[in-house]
Chains A and B, each alone.
Chain A
Amino acid sequence: MNPGDHLIYDWNRVGGAGLSLKVEIEDHTPAVAPCALKDRLKFIPLAAAVGITAVNVGPAGPDATAMIAAAREAGLEPVVMLALGEKFDGDAIGEVRVWASRLRQYSHAFEDEKKYLDEVARRLDGRRRKVILEDASRAHPDTLAALLRICAGTDAVVLDDSAGLATPHAVRRLVEFAREHAPDVRIEWSGHNERDLAVVNCLDAVHAGASALHASVLSCGHGPGLAALDHLLVNLRLLGYIDRDLSRLGEHVEAVAAACGFQIPVNYPVFGKDAFRTATGVHAAAIVKAQAKGEDWLADRVYSGVPAGWFGRSQVIDIGPMSGESNVVAWLRQHGREPEPDLVKRIIARAKTSNHILSVEEVEAEIASH
């Protein structure tokens, strides 16, 4: 219970939402981030610091061996990617890809589905294995049912929305179908972001009974990538499904961005530069009034659906063409200046003629000319 919870009516929880659900996450960042091994090794303890339970280290080989050791040291379960029938005796779970859709089978020259399913059954080694049903969201139910029967006895089945097609309703149908046809097998979900639905699809998978979700920091991966692990954790915490400290999540995001040469977009939710900034008069005024009441909790939530403080950040008020005088007063106080009425009027007049947010240098120039 937070001190100001009575000040927020939460429509998200009307009608019983906000159940207590358990969920684990397999972090694919070390497997898919386009950067050097030394950097990928650094991601592993950062994943552990935000409560990740398993880490995917990519295909078997020297890099995977090094990352498996790092994962063990960090207390994480390593997962290595294998081709069907590939032998692997290392200290990791093997994740075997099979083609669940006729489309994928066809593209790989398997025109006879029965022949392909027979081959999967013959070559699948169930010992410490997960099976990824690639393109499950475009697979015929009969094919999925057959594959789920074949997968009985494996550690888990991963339903993979490889093409980023699925809607949240489809995710629920798929997970429920899998649970019905393989009641004793652990079901996991992995999805791509072609429709900007990857994060919510993970949440729906959990609601439908998936035990683990696959994701990567900053959606690393081919094309638009996997579900963003960082945004997934934020949502899981906001929904109350996890209660872990996420204060180092930003460090993880920045480490991946730096190693891969990604520029974090300024408007990237939670971790972008603008995530907790406003230059709009009415919104800044609300934050300023909340701060004036001396209630940090209030100031961090009155204009923010995600508390900046969870991530070591704070609300920032800027001055721009849509600002009011309260922006200027707040800015001057934040920068140790007295908000004299004439100075405030001068700066707001300057802002109203600008086509952008005033930089520190531009505000300082107005102060100097005052």
Chain B
Amino acid sequence: MGVRPQDLIYDWNREDASLYAGRVVELEDETLRDGLQSPSVIDPEIDDKLRIIHLMEALGIHGADVGLPGAGQRNREHVVRMCREIRDNHMRLEPSCAARTLIVDIQPIVEVSQELGMNVEANVFLGSSPIRLYAEDWPMEKLLKHTVEAVSFATKNGISCMYVTEDTTRAHPDTLRALYTAAIEAGARRVCLADTVGHATPEGVRNLVKFIRGVIAETGQDVKIDWHGHRDRALAIVNALAAIEAGADRIHGTAIGVGERVGNTPMDLLLINLKVMGMIDSDLSRLKEYTETVARATGVPVPHNWPVLGARAYRPAGDAVAHFDEAERKWLSDCLYGALPVTALGLR
């Protein structure tokens, strides 16, 4: 009959394109660090971690947080092995490691970097909200001192540093301005806004990113903004999209959203959304392998109705398209009951 899908579908999303015009977004995979802080995961063996690293690379993910080498011998050994794999395979994937704003945590990252002769970014984190400061009895002077010492130590030892404020979405703007300014002056060239407790709404994300862009502009430095979200309100994906819209440069996520409590922004669903929006051009044909590998290695299954990738996520058109010829049946099956071009994405 010669009818094409575009003749039959009006896209109410299409005006969104102007919101993201010119935006280039990168992705940081936290599966092997924050993801492993889920109470239900099994810390995978190194062979599985290496498989997951290769899958991240295949999916076009830009960076990977590979652990906290300061957290123990096993963690350090795994970090070294993964960084070596990245180096020896000439991957585009850029490794990083997490650390408290303490020299004792950053020193092992410096050592890994020096041992392998490659940059391993230090993601140094510090609580920033008034509720956390009150609970911990932390004065502002202490936060600033730790911030400057940690960032300076990393940069003076030749590794790049991302400065992370925990619980940023509940932190006072004056505190954030002081901390970020100090971190940037000490050498941080990437800052991370963390919705540590999954508090934010998209409006909150936009407010926060816009404010931090202003703080960075005041410093006159070229500093990138990362967004790190959690799923506590089931808003992680939309918050990531709001962060991009507001000017974040890189988004953090984990496979099937594994992570602290109910987990992080699901990297797989973020990739699908970004692909549908035309913001990335990655080959996602190995996405299911990525989620299934992480599910098997961590012991956290993919929920049955997990969008796109769950066992019961697909809504077959079945009898509704039985009366069409084969060519039309094919494209109708892909879009009649589900909006995502899953066949074109290589997912089915």
Contact = CB atoms under 8 A, between A and B. Distances in A.
A231 B313 contact: no
Interface in B297-313: 300-301, 303-308, 310, 312-313
Interface stretch (B21-29, B54-62, B215-223, B260-268): B260-268
A272 B256 CA distance: 15
Interface stretch (A61-69, A76-84, A120-128, A192-200): A192-200
B168 to A, nearest CB: 8
A248 interface: no
Interface stretch (A42-50, A262-270, A330-338, A362-370): A262-270
Nearest to A320: B39
B135 A286 contact: yes
Interface stretch (A22-30, A87-95, A182-190, A217-225): A217-225
Given A166-B12, A194-B340, A9 B71 contact: no
B199 interface: yes
A223 B315 contact: yes
B12 A286 contact: no
A169 to B, nearest CB: 5
B131 interface: yes
Contact of B231 (A269, A287, A298, A322): A269
A138 B314 contact: no
Interface residues of B, number: 102
B280 interface: no
Contacts, number: 277
Contacts of A277: 39, 261
A293 interface: yes
Contact of A4 (B131, B171, B266): B131
A276 to B, nearest CB: 7
Contact of A225 (B45, B68, B305, B324): B305
A1 interface: no
A20 interface: no
A194 B308 contact: yes
Contact of A223 (B15, B230, B238, B337): B337
A305 B230 contact: yes
A16 to B, nearest CB: 9
B142 interface: no
B108 interface: no
Residue of B3, B38, B44, B196 most packed against chain A (CB within 10 A): B38
B321 A107 contact: yes
Interface string B26-39: 00000000001111
A322 B202 CA distance: 30
Given A107-B320, A357-B40, A298 B131 contact: yes
B10 A141 contact: yes
B9 A276 contact: no
Contact of A356 (B43, B276, B305): B43
Interface stretch (A51-59, A145-153, A233-241, A339-347): A233-241
B307 A224 contact: yes
Contacts of B12: 137-138, 166, 170, 173-174
A101 B207 CA distance: 36
A223 B132 contact: no
A195 B307 CA distance: 6
Given A194-B308, A302-B132, A199 B234 contact: yes
B313 to A, nearest CB: 5
Contacts of A306: 198, 232-233
B234 A269 contact: yes
A283 B234 contact: no
Contacts of A276: 261
A17 B203 contact: yes
A280 B40 contact: no
A275 B337 contact: no
Contacts of A4: 131, 134
Contact of B263 (A11, A238, A267): A267
B13 A199 contact: no
Nearest to A200: B238
A355 B233 contact: no
A262 to B, nearest CB: 7
Interface in A269-296: 269-270, 272-280, 282-283, 285-287, 289-290, 293
- Of the listed residues B41, B201, B261, the one surrounded by the most CB atoms of chain A closer than 10 A to its CB is B261
Nearest to A299: B135
B13 A231 contact: no
A140 interface: yes
A9 B171 contact: yes
B332 A107 contact: yes
Nearest to A292: B135
A213 B315 CA distance: 22
B197 interface: yes
A80 B22 CA distance: 47
A328 to B, nearest CB: 15
B40 A170 contact: no
Q: Which of B75, B132, B196, B257 is most buried by chain A, counting CB atoms within 10 A of its CB?
A: B132
Nearest to B133: A7
B191 interface: no
B72 to A, nearest CB: 5
A304 B129 CA distance: 12
Given A265-B303, A280-B260, A352-B72, A200 B131 contact: no
B326 interface: no
Contacts of A275: 232, 261-262
Given A195-B273, A304-B232, 4 more contacts: A173-B15, A195-B276, A265-B301, A298-B131
16 contacts: A4-B131, A8-B170, A12-B201, A12-B204, A103-B8, A106-B3, A170-B13, A194-B313, A195-B272, A203-B201, A223-B315, A269-B262, A274-B38, A286-B136, A321-B72, A322-B37
Interface of B: 3, 5, 7-13, 15-16, 19, 36-45, 68, 71-72, 74-75, 100, 127, 129-132, 134-137, 169-173, 195-205, 207-208, 230-238, 241, 257-263, 266, 269, 272-273, 276, 300-301, 303-308, 310, 312-315, 317, 320-321, 323-324, 332, 335-340
Which 9 residue pairs are nearest across A and B when measured between Cβ atoms?
A165-B339, A12-B204, A305-B199, A163-B339, A305-B197, A7-B131, A223-B315, A355-B43, A11-B204
